Structure 1
Amino acid sequence: MNKVRYVGLDLGSKTVGIATSQGIIVSPYKTINFNENDFEDCINKLTPELKDLTPEKIIVGYPKNMDGTLGHRVEMVEHIIYLLTEKKICNLEDIIKIDERLTTRMAKSIMISANISRQKQKQKKDTLAAQLILETYLANKG
């Protein structure tokens, strides 16, 4: 068992980036791939990871539009949150939604600055986005 205090999730239509933290330093954990828009498959693959990590809080990237309104991707995130709570993987009060505007763009910018190849960027963008989401939460929580 790898008990952590926080898990950050960057939820997509076919991947979930995961990052972890004890409260100060955030580390990339892994990316889970699932069948596109098959959120039951997503939950089935995410559940063992969350059970192993046993986080106190799950920080989820909330994909607002640039103008602050809620777009269609919010429905996907809300559905995944619903499945997590419906299947008793976690309680709703253990999930914190964080505005994730620009995290994917920031992740790409960081990787380009670090001269990471396009192939590696594709592999790492989801965990880096999850890392940025979790770092945003930790920076603003206290």
Structure 2
Amino acid sequence: MQYAALGLDVGRKRIGVAGCDRLGITVHGITTIIRKSWQDDMAELRSLILERNIDTLVIGLPYNMDGSLGYQAKQVQKFANGAAKHLGITVEFVDERLTSYEAEEMMRSQGISTRENKAMIDRKAAAIILQQWLAIKQQAIM
């Protein structure tokens, strides 16, 4: 199975971006897009999609802890649906509850300050989102 996906952790200020190798074995943070405008966000994503020959965006959906969709989740859905249409790309969602917390814990365990490294947290959260999606895809094959 070949994978051509980017994982996205979409926030109001930043978008963490992660990628994987074509076999879906390794996942790594690529960049953090500092949000300026819709057009700028789409231009940066389009550039990454073309450069990496991507066919799917895997976007973390921030459910509330009770499993409901709150305001931020609805904003992410709106972004994702707009991006899918604007970029002509498939979008899939992954439950991203606690991914930023998990990313911060990983950084703390490595002795990396989370206070000055918000962009790194976003990239790591995007990597966790993409890893979760890959695990779901690989389980479906087995």
Could you say which TM-score interval applies, normalised by the shorter chain?
0.7 to 0.9
Report what 2:135 is aligned to.
Answer: 139
| Contact 2:7/2:57 (8 A) holds in 1 | yes
Report what 2:73 is aligned to.
Answer: 74
**Whole-Å separation in 1 of the counterparts to 2:38 and 2:57:** 17
| Contact 1:34/1:45 (8 A) holds in 2 | no
SS of corresponding position for 1:47: helix
| Contact 2:49/2:55 (8 A) holds in 1 | no
Q: C-alpha displacement at 1:51, in angstroms?
A: 2.2
Pairing of 1:94-109 with structure 2 (within 5 A): 94-109=90-105
TM-score using structure 1 length: 0.85
Between 95-104 and 40-49, the greater mean CA deviation after superposition: 40-49
| Contact 2:14/2:119 (8 A) holds in 1 | no
**Whole-Å separation in 1 of the counterparts to 2:98 and 2:115:** 21
Q: Deviations over 1:27-81 (max 9, x none)?
A: 111001013xx43432233222222222132211011001100010112111211
**Whole-Å separation in 2 of the counterparts to 1:59 and 1:10:** 9
In structure 2, relative to structure 1, the CA distance for the partners of 1:25 and 1:32 (3 Å cut) is same
Report what 1:86 is aligned to.
Answer: 85
TM-score using structure 2 length: 0.85
Between 61-70 and 50-59, the greater mean CA deviation after superposition: 50-59
Between 23-32 and 78-87, the greater mean CA deviation after superposition: 78-87
2:122 aligned to 120, 126, 137, which one?
126
Q: C-alpha displacement at 1:135, in angstroms?
A: 0.6
Between the aligned residues of both structures, percent identity stands at: 31
Aligned residues: 134
SS of corresponding position for 1:19: strand
Structure 1: give runs of 5+ residues left out of the alignment. Answer: none
One-letter code of the match for 1:108? Answer: E
Q: C-alpha displacement at 1:120, in angstroms?
A: 5.0
**Whole-Å separation in 1 of the counterparts to 2:13 and 2:43:** 13
Structure 1 stretches of 4+ moved >4 Å:
none
Structure 2: give runs of 5+ residues left out of the alignment. Answer: none
**Whole-Å separation in 1 of the counterparts to 2:58 and 2:8:** 6
Report what 2:34 is aligned to.
Answer: 33
